[in-house]
């Protein structure tokens, strides 16, 4: 089911990305759109809100993203497990993945790449730095707009270990009272 | 308790790092050693085994790592939760963190930075690329030697969400039979 979302501060997207979930990256270029799964990403800065990620040249999305200089990082939950696996095991070169997997493409606010309505969160991204793309397929994006579903507060996310095996996010543990205020 | 470990293939460290755990980075330079917590990292390549990570200049470890061009990425489990929090909330500028937290520094095989015996896994790293250090504090390391405890097969890891709150790794879900062989 598509999820209703609220605006979320872009400098706080680490809340969802730092724990290391598999994400779905949507992109668009000249009337074509696509989705890929991505597990190799890291938060790089709060302000501007930077995320670095590896998008291999063998992905059909590579050219769409490199040319449009935009993408959306979408956060799927376990409700989409088989969709995540399916998206990673077919190619946008011969498949309309939105159609094949029954996903809804919603217009984004600041980029042309579409939001995936069924995901828990959508982070609109603009390419900030491409200097490591040629050597490492490493793209640095700025998150320019974030949308997050209000519930659940702690969505069940998928964390890939390789070999077709995922770890599912588990219990929440607060140690807030042991942190220095400036470290929070 | 210190853990007994076996050699592990460096091209398979994504098994432990891709799910996005908080890690402890140990370093050494001219007789001084230190540990920091790190949540901003990503796998970048299988062979060579590359890991990219953000180490802010405000960390005492920044200079030790930049000068020695080495570090060890250690994987703590929930047994070390309070140690992880404590390490992130004090500075190596005025604290011997190995002593303060009762951690055992073992000699590594290929780098001078020490292994943390109590962690589930230790990945010895050499600096591979520093060209984004000045602009983004982003270091790219090559994992040159890996040590992993044989049990448990799926250690309980900590995944940081900010605000003093961790997600603990949960259940394991295999979808191996839905992957194309070449995607495994």
Q: Could you tell me which of A171, A18, A163 has the C-alpha nearest to residue B170?
A: A171
* Cα B87 to Cα B82: distance, rounded to the nearest angstrom: 8
Quick one: pLDDT at residue B74? 98
Structure tokens at B11: 């091209």
Residues A35-44 as b/e (b if ≥16 CB within 10 A, e otherwise) read bbbbbbbbbb
Q: Would you call B12 an interface residue with chain A, using a CB distance cutoff of 8 Å? A: yes
Q: Is A172 close to B166, i.e. CB distance below 8 A?
A: yes
**ipTM value:** 0.97
Q: How far is B13 from chain A (nearest CA, A)?
A: 9
Assign B2 a pLDDT band (cuts: 50, 70, 90): confident
Q: Could you tell me which of B89, B138, B151 has the C-alpha nearest to residue A52?
A: B138
Average pLDDT rounded to a whole number, residues B130-134: 97
Question: Is there a cis peptide before residue A152, judged by omega within 30 degrees of 0?
Answer: yes
Quick one: pLDDT at residue A3? 83
Average pLDDT rounded to a whole number, residues B124-145: 98
| Bridge partners, residue B129, by sequence | B140
Q: Is A52 close to B53, i.e. CB distance below 8 A?
A: no
Share in percent of chain A as helix, strand, coil (round to 5): 20, 40, 40
pLDDT at B138 over 90: yes
pLDDT at B184 over 90: no
Q: For an interface test with A, which of B154, B163, B167, B178 has the most A Cβ atoms less than 10 Å from its Cβ?
A: B167
* Cα B143 to Cα B70: distance, rounded to the nearest angstrom: 10
H-assigned helices in B22-106: 60-68, 81-88, 97-100
Q: How far is B174 from chain A (nearest CA, A)?
A: 4
* Cα B141 to Cα B126: distance, rounded to the nearest angstrom: 5
Facing residue for A20 by CB, picked from B20, B53, B82: B20
Q: Would you call A151 an interface residue with chain B, using a CB distance cutoff of 8 Å? A: no
Cα angle B11-B12-B14, degrees, rounded to a multiple of 5: 110
pLDDT tens, position by position, B76-130: 999 999 999 999 999 999 999 999 999 999 999 999 999 999 999 999 999 999 9
pLDDT at B3 over 90: no
Q: Are B146 and B66 in contact (CB under 8 A)?
A: no
3-state secondary structure B25-43: EEEEECCEEEEEEECCEEE
| Sign (positive or negative) of CA dihedral B178, A18, B15, B156 | negative
Quick one: pLDDT at residue A115? 98
Q: How far is A7 from chain B (nearest CA, A)?
A: 18
HSE value, Cβ hemisphere, 13 Å, CA-based, for A126: 10
**DSSP-assigned letters across all residues of A44-65:** EETTTTEEEEE--TTSHHHHHH
Q: Is B89 close to A179, i.e. CB distance below 8 A?
A: yes
Q: Would you tell me how many other CB atoms lie within 10 Å of the CB of residue B148? A: 21
Q: Could you tell me which of A32, A179, A170 has the C-alpha nearest to residue B84?
A: A179
Provide the chain B residues 51-70 that lie in CB contact (below 8 A) with chain A: 52-54
Q: Could you tell me which of B19, B12, B22 has the C-alpha nearest to residue B76?
A: B22
- Integer angstrom CA distances of residue B121 from A162, B8, B74, B116: 17, 9, 6, 9
Structure tokens at B47: 């062979």
User: What is the reported pTM?
Assistant: 0.97
Provide the chain B residues 91-120 that lie in CB contact (below 8 A) with chain A: none
Cβ contacts below 8 Å, chain A against chain B, sum to 192
* Cα B45 to Cα B29: distance, rounded to the nearest angstrom: 27
Q: For an interface test with B, which of A82, A138, A153 has the most B Cβ atoms less than 10 Å from its Cβ?
A: A138
Quick one: pLDDT at residue A2? 82
pLDDT tens, position by position, B6-51: 999 999 999 999 999 999 999 999 999 999 999 999 999 999 999 9
Q: What is the mean pLDDT of each run of 10 residues along chain A (184 residues)?
A: 92 98 98 97 98 96 97 98 97 96 98 98 98 97 98 97 98 96 90
Structure tokens at B132: 């984004």
Q: Could you tell me which of A23, A39, A13, A24 has the C-alpha nearest to residue B19?
A: A39
Q: For an interface test with B, which of A121, A128, A170, A184 has the most B Cβ atoms less than 10 Å from its Cβ?
A: A170
């Amino acid at each position: 089911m598509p999820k209703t979302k609220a605006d979320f501060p872009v400098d706080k997207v680490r809340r969802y990305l730092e724990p290391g979930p598999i994400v779905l990256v949507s992109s668009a270029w000249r009337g074509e759109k696509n989705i890929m799964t991505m597990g190799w990403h890291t938060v790089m800065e709060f302000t501007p809100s930077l995320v670095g990620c590896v998008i291999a040249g063998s992905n059909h999305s590579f050219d769409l993203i490199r040319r449009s200089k935009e993408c959306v990082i979408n956060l799927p939950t376990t409700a989409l497990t088989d969709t995540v696996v399916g998206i990673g095991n077919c190619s946008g070169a011969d498949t309309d993945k939105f159609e094949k997997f029954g996903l809804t493409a919603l217009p984004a606010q600041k980029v042309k790449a579409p939001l995936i309505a069924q995901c828990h969160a959508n982070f609109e991204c603009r390419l900030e730095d491409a200097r490591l793309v040629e050597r490492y397929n490493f793209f640095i994006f700025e998150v320019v707009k974030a949308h997050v579903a209000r519930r659940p507060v702690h969505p069940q996310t998928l964390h890939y270990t390789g070999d077709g095996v995922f770890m599912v996010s588990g219990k929440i543990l607060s140690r807030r009272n042991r942190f220095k205020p400036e470290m929070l």
